[in-house]
Amino acid sequence: MSNEELLLSDILNELAHLASGSINEEELAKEFISIVKKNSQVNSAEIIDLTSANTNRFEEYLINTRKTYVDNQLSEYSAFTELVSYSKNGYMSCAIIPLVVNNKVIAALTMLSNKENAFSPEFIHVFELSASMLAPLIAYKTEIRKSSKLVDYFDSAFNSQCPQMLITKENKIIKSNSAAAKLFNVSNGTNATRIFGIDFAALNEKDMVKGINIKINNSENEYKIFSKSINPNLFHVLAVNVTGELFLNRILNALSEGNDMFLLIAKEDLIITSMSKNLEKFIGYNEMQGDLKFDNFLKENNSAFVNLKEGKPFFFELKGISKTLYVKAIPNKIESGYMVLMVDKESDKYISDAEQNIKGFIDGTSDIVIMIDSLGYIRECNMQSEKILGYKREELVERDISEIYSDAKILNRDIIYVKNGGKIDNTYVNIKKKDNEMLPAVHSIRFLRGINEEDRYIIIIKELSTKMKLEEMEDDLKEAEGDIKRLNAISGQKSDFIYNISHELRTPLTNIKGFSSLLYEGNAGELNKDQKDYVNTIIEESNRLMLIIQQVLDAAKLETEKVKLELKEVDLKSLGESPSIKALSESAHGKNLDFSWNVDFNVPQITADPNRLIQVFVNLIGNAIKFTEKGGINIHIYRKSVKYIECDVSDTGIGIAEEDRRKLFRKFYQAQNYQSQKSVLIKQDGAGTGLGLAITKEIIKLHGGSIRVESEPGKGSKFAFVLPITKRTRRKTAKKE
């Protein structure tokens, strides 16, 4: 090998070691600089980040051209000011190599030497190749760091008082904050569909953004569920209590139309001073009638009078011009007398609302509720008015309502519109708090006609901070979705990087094996016994390393879907006579283990890739031999159904614990096996990469099959995989011209 090839091999070896570590991108850059200095005559080297907006003229040149810049004779006449400064510091040669990912320059490797003509084309070629390997690795480490920040974001969001969950496309809750756990009685692993009655994977984008109203566990509270897709497999779910909002909307609508709910206001002597427009129509009120008293509705209902005075709900018959309703009255004591909400008891639509006390609604809602007279002065307000606006109740009552509006024209316009029979719902306004801070909000207004007194208006003001927070959260989730897409792209680059670097490692390793074999056979002179033992160890470890590299290559190919099956007709009985299976049989016999390969008479030939199928059997049988000390290994292949065959690989080994069985087919997972006679966990000597079973599962999936494991500690294991007799292929739909 040439010096350049040896240098490249050394650098790639060290890069491969760094790739498997957990260091961040800054530590990776430092380690790579150490590699550069160790393997060359470079006097100074650094990696400069080029992703920020602050770049000089030379860095912009690198970003635009994406080409390596070499100057082997630095001087004060160099093309760029930045290079002149290198010359002034005593450097005679420089080489700057851009680190490119997806045609974008993310950094630059700068190397400086005190000698002229220090950087030959061969040297530059080596470090250009190294930089092409380093760039995606740095980008990947950077995305990992950003990913951890994304996790921190979710953790921060989950600390809020708003119920939030992460739900998979299978509708399983994988994370819920304390508010969701307490409110909905959910935990990780709970089926969200059973709780909410929603198939989140089936929701369309409109439903996710608009939200879906639900009731939980037959409670009176209602919630709006917002869902946001983070990726095809995960949803972020937010629950907002809208009980007060829905009840409010029903009351507002009832005040203008329908014969299900009515509202009136009466003085202490029960003379009615205001009533909702629909009540006016229902009883046929005429202004010429004079004073109208609530007594006229109650007549001789003494218990109703008592309950009214005590503020307790009661029932009575409300007579209208065309019909009589049996209503439930819900009174609330106010400063001027009483406010009474009347609900048709027989109406299914409002039966749940009738169970609520009007006082509970006004003071319990999270919105501002204000009653004003015809001159615009505040007569009543709820607790939220004080809490949100910062005033005490006595500071609000008798205050001109226009003083808390930044634009009184909008308020006056809407008041006139409502008085003329219209409805105002969710008009955007700015409300002034006591400290003069502006509160973005929407208001809704309803008119109560005065009877022998002034008209009144109910104004409900809903602050928009919650809505704004939801919109901000949606923006954050969109950004998170972009981050996840970039992570997926980097993951693909990582697989390509691992694939390429593993491929490069095979060449020097093949040479090591070849020359070691020549030494062992005496082609370079006879070796003594110790020397032969040493060389034999090199050969054995080289074979083991080659197997590991092959497994890493297979895993990378499978992950990037580069594996293509070479399908043929395979006779499973003859497969047992293959050299690989025979070698395993001899290995089993060498441990004094029984070995049998049994294929039922009715098993037909199957369509499969014979080499990949042998790889599956080698992985499963090899594991069985490794973890079995007595008894034997049995392979039984039989016809499972008309379309499928099953292959069982059974052993009498140490078995696998339940915890390990759940994780067994994950990449890089190595089971902590039970010692056969002690309840102590041990790890087998010579454990591999933890890729064998993951690769096995992927190969079986490529064939259209599946695999399972049955085992108990101390009682052996059975790996059973099912394969179709004929490999099914997807039909390609012809494109219309």
In this chain, the answer to whether the domains covering 3-140 and 568-724 adopt an identical fold is: no
Q: Which fold has domain 475-559?
A: Helix Hairpins (1.10.287)
Q: Enumerate residue ranges in the chain where pLDDT < 70.
A: 1-8, 16, 18-22, 53, 143-161, 205-210, 216-220, 242-258, 287-290, 300, 346-365, 450-454, 465-477, 480-481, 483-484, 487-507, 547, 549-563, 667-690, 728-737
Question: According to the model, what pLDDT value does residue 647 have?
Answer: 95
Tokens found for residue 475 = 């923006």
SS3 596: strand
CB environment 684-717: b (16+ within 10 A), e (fewer): eeeebbbbbbbbbbbbbebbbbebebebebeebb
- Which one-letter amino acid corresponds to residue 275? M
Is 3-140 CATH 2.60.40.420?
Answer: no
- Which segments of 193-335 are extended strands (E)? 212-215, 222-231, 234-241, 261-267, 272-276, 314-319, 324-334
551: left (phi over 0), alpha (psi -120 to 50) or beta: alpha
Count CB-CB contacts under 10 A for residue 486: 16
CATH class of 160-241: alpha beta
Nearest to 105 by CA among 69, 158, 154, 159: 69
Residues paired with 237 in a beta bridge = 165, 227
Q: Cα separations (Å) of 495 from 131, 430, 557, 562?
A: 17, 54, 8, 11
Question: According to the model, what pLDDT value does residue 680 have?
Answer: 34
Under CATH, which number does the domain 568-724 receive?
3.30.565.10
Residues paired with 431 in a beta bridge = 405, 439
- Give helix 81-88 / helix 57-65 axis angle, nearest 10°: 120
Cβ neighbors of 644 (< 8 A, separation 6 or more) are 705, 722, 723, 724, 725
Question: According to the model, what pLDDT value does residue 606 have?
Answer: 93
The pLDDT tens digits for 158-191 are 555 678 888 888 888 888 888 788 878 888 888 8
Question: According to the model, what pLDDT value does residue 285 have?
Answer: 81
Q: How far, in Å, CA of 141 to CA of 146, rounded? A: 9
Count CB-CB contacts under 10 A for residue 23: 13
Residue 107 burial (10 A CB sphere; 0-12, 13-18, 19+): buried
Question: According to the model, what pLDDT value does residue 607 have?
Answer: 93
pTM score of the predicted model: 0.35
Listed by start position, the domains of the chain span 3-140, 160-241, 475-559, 568-724
Residues 241-245: contacts with CB under 8 Å, at least 24 apart: 242/213, 244/361, 244/364, 244/365, 244/366, 244/367, 245/365, 245/367, 245/462
Q: Classify strands 673-674 and 594-599 as parallel, antiparallel or unpaired.
A: unpaired
Question: According to the model, what pLDDT value does residue 362 have?
Answer: 60
Q: Cα separations (Å) of 549 from 227, 364, 494, 503, 732?
A: 43, 66, 16, 8, 36
Question: According to the model, what pLDDT value does residue 552 have?
Answer: 67
Question: According to the model, what pLDDT value does residue 634 have?
Answer: 95
Contact predicate 177/236, CB 8 Å: no
Q: How far, in Å, CA of 194 to CA of 196, rounded? A: 6
- Which one-letter amino acid corresponds to residue 438? M
* DSSP-derived secondary structure letter, 436: S
Phi then psi for residue 333, to 5 deg, are: -75, 125
